Structure 1
């Protein structure tokens, strides 16, 4: 069984060109620490760029919750909740630059203010 699994892993690593499936395979399945090369590759991918390009200066992607998604600006991720869900699907952690901005915003207490403003409306 192990040989068959290793054959599948070797095959995927040899044919998959998109950096995110390779990154997820290494990180989540093989439990390897991503290399600098892996991280640089995902930062150049269209999936990462979608998240990074739409992230606001305050670290969010606009409104927080999906029940509050009537944003004035059209964007791929209509809420921060959606964007964080995508980041999780891509196996991004708090060390990814887009997550660091979000985390630092939240730890400075600004997320509480954002949540308060959203709940007031």
Structure 2
């Protein structure tokens, strides 16, 4: 069975390589090999596809996946989950922008685009 180090030296895809280096070997964030691996992750089609769908305000349109009106539209919740799985973190620009969007919502500077249920007080 191959060790983690052997896997990393092999020509494996950028995302698993980076995740092994960061999450299993726990390399320090200033490690040049880890930095290079992260740069490769940011250039993958998987990350680019999600980042290209991000709106200027930092969201991906609707916030909650369960509130989604169309199954073909990516929500902010889903995009953030996918970016985290792909290896991005709070220091990466797309996630920073999404955090700023969420902060504005919490400060009541904007409203979410999600479907709003009608008030059904008194109906049980």
TM-score over 0.5 (shorter chain) = yes
The 1-side partners of 2:83 and 2:17 are apart by: 16
Aligned residue number for residue 63 of structure 1: 62
Q: Verify the 8 A CA contact 1:51 1:98 in the aligned structure 2.
A: no
Query: TM-score, length-normalised on structure 2?
Result: 0.74
The 1-side partners of 2:35 and 2:9 are apart by: 19
User: How big is the shift at 1:56?
Assistant: 0.9
Q: Verify the 8 A CA contact 1:20 1:90 in the aligned structure 2.
A: yes
Query: Which of 29-38 and 40-49 deviates more?
Result: 29-38
Q: Give unpaired runs (5+ residues) of structure 1.
A: none
Q: Count residues with an aligned counterpart.
A: 111
Secondary structure of the corresponding residue to residue 4 of structure 2: helix
Aligned residue number for residue 30 of structure 1: 25
CA RMSD of aligned residues (A): 2.4
Q: Verify the 8 A CA contact 1:52 1:98 in the aligned structure 2.
A: yes
Larger gyration radius, structure 1 or structure 2: 2
* Structure 1 segments of 4+ aligned residues over 3 angstroms from their partners: none
